[in-house]
Amino acid sequence: MFARQLHASAFLGFTLLTSTLLKAQPPNIVFIVADDMGYADLSSFGAPDVKTPNIDRIGEEGIKFTNIYAMGPECTPSRVSFLTGRYPQRVGGMECAIGTGNVGRYDDATRLAQAGDLGLPPSHAVLAPKLKKAGYHNAIFGKWHLGYEEKFSPLDQGFDTFIGFLGGNVDYFRHRELSDIDVYLSGRDILKSREGYTTDLITEDAIKYLNERRNDPHTPFFLYLPHAAPHFPFQGPKDDDGTMPSSKDWTKGSRETYLKMMESLDQSVGAVLEGIEAVGIADNTMIVFTSDHGAMKPGLNTPWRDYKGTLFEGGIRVPLLVRWPAKIAAGSTSDQVGSLMDLTRSFLEAAGTETGELNLDGEDLFTLALDGESLIERSLHWRAKRSPQVWSATRNGKWKWIRNENDGQVSEWLFNLDDDPHEKDNLLGEGMTPRQSAIYAMLRLNHEAWETNVAPNR
């Protein structure tokens, strides 16, 4: 089976990965995250109407992962998972995107917001602190969305540099949410507006940072670029009419505008790739591109069912592209089931950091996908709360169970993803076989046990 997923030359390159990893110079890591981008909004993943040659190049010169999940169907929980390597439920209050202006959107989140505690505590941060301990210099340019309070600053969570915005959505030209300015220009103390298109500003900061690395070539770095694009408000780089969108228009947008935002994002990625090459560090720089979850309309999640905010495949399946010339042979594809939560362990293992004592929930995706002889079955769990709804789901191998409770009304689904990857045929109900009934019961029991295991203590 594995031979069908990877070219032979790629496999030979991958088998060298684990044997030489700790002996090699730790790689620089550039992690680029699109915001609300759909699975099918890249040319290499089936986009019918937009060209993304620079983003696609990452996979062409490395590996394309086709079976990767976000650990939440919204921004905040997904980001918690890959910065901690753990299920976002363990933190408490982070199962839903933090609302504009620091609003909690379900009971625990509301309670924490009222107490000034809605955000990712530094005690839960794993990725940046561990890389820093391993000698990395860490920078973030872009979207944080893990707490507005001062105590949740990325500068207290292992990052040495932060320029960006705290909330979940900002005007691309005025860099504000609907009610307030929330752009950090320098460190933690200066809050003021800045001229330019958000995607361009993030890119400028990234290029400047890469050029600064010339002065310290022996210190590896972690460059985290969480973009705003193509998240609403839907504004292309030439769409500034001098005013903020009104609240009723904040989430409205055309596919045409969305494509302009995607093309701008692709150009940004191209500039970063060129910057890495100009500094002369391309060979041992790992570049990773993904989206934090599925798209809302007008984004495309084809061929998967539904959109952002749900636990159908369209809400949580994401593209993942990885390039690392020193270790990964070009032109390969993996269908290994994995998650963005796995990237924490993957990055730390690549950096030569011990992870055994960290109690991570994720696996080393590179080892799973690249060093085995067959695809490994995974068991993954989700829960997403946004009052009055609670979504729950478990995937175990080819089986997936989903539950939605909405204001007291409950719906459930059972799918065999091998036979029905597009989730069209709900196996629950009349005609359900004894085996399917047993699988349904098993998935529910497993999910209940998982919920007990990840219960937060705050």
Domains of the chain, earliest start first:
2-379 (3.40.720.10), 388-453 (3.30.1120)
Q: How many Cβ atoms from other residues are within 10 Å of residue 456's Cβ?
A: 15
**Contact assessment for residue 160 and residue 132, using Cβ atoms and an 8 Å cutoff:** yes
Cα–Cα distance, 178 to 99 (Å, whole number): 11
Position 24 scores a pLDDT of 66
Cα–Cα distance, 273 to 23 (Å, whole number): 26
pTM, to two decimals:
0.93
Q: Which residues lie below 8 Å from residue 357, measured CB to CB, with a gap of 6+?
A: none
CA proximity to 99, closest of 85, 79, 84, 119: 119
Show the 3-state SS of 414-428.
Answer: EEECCCCCCCCCCCC
Q: Which residues are catalytic?
A: 75, 145
Residue type, 458: R
Position 205 scores a pLDDT of 95
Position 368 scores a pLDDT of 84
Q: Structure tokens of 163?
A: 């320029």
Phi, psi of 251 (to 5 degrees): -105, 10
Distances (CA, A) of 229 to 32, 244, 279, 364: 11, 17, 26, 28
Position 330 scores a pLDDT of 93
**Contact assessment for residue 223 and residue 211, using Cβ atoms and an 8 Å cutoff:** no
**Contact assessment for residue 18 and residue 228, using Cβ atoms and an 8 Å cutoff:** no
Element (H or E) spanning 104, and its range?
A: none
Q: Is 293 exposed, middle or buried (0-12, 13-18, 19+ CB in 10 A)?
A: buried
Tens place of pLDDT per residue across the chain (458 aa): 323 344 333 433 443 444 344 446 899 999 999 999 999 999 999 999 999 999 999 999 999 999 999 999 999 999 999 999 999 999 999 999 999 888 999 999 999 999 999 999 999 999 999 999 999 999 999 999 999 998 999 999 999 999 998 888 889 998 888 766 555 544 544 435 678 999 999 999 999 999 999 999 999 999 999 999 999 999 999 999 988 888 788 899 999 999 999 999 999 999 999 999 999 999 999 999 999 999 999 999 999 999 999 999 999 999 999 999 988 889 989 999 999 999 999 999 999 999 989 999 999 998 888 776 678 999 999 999 999 999 999 999 999 999 999 999 999 999 999 999 999 999 999 899 999 999 999 999 999 999 999 999 89
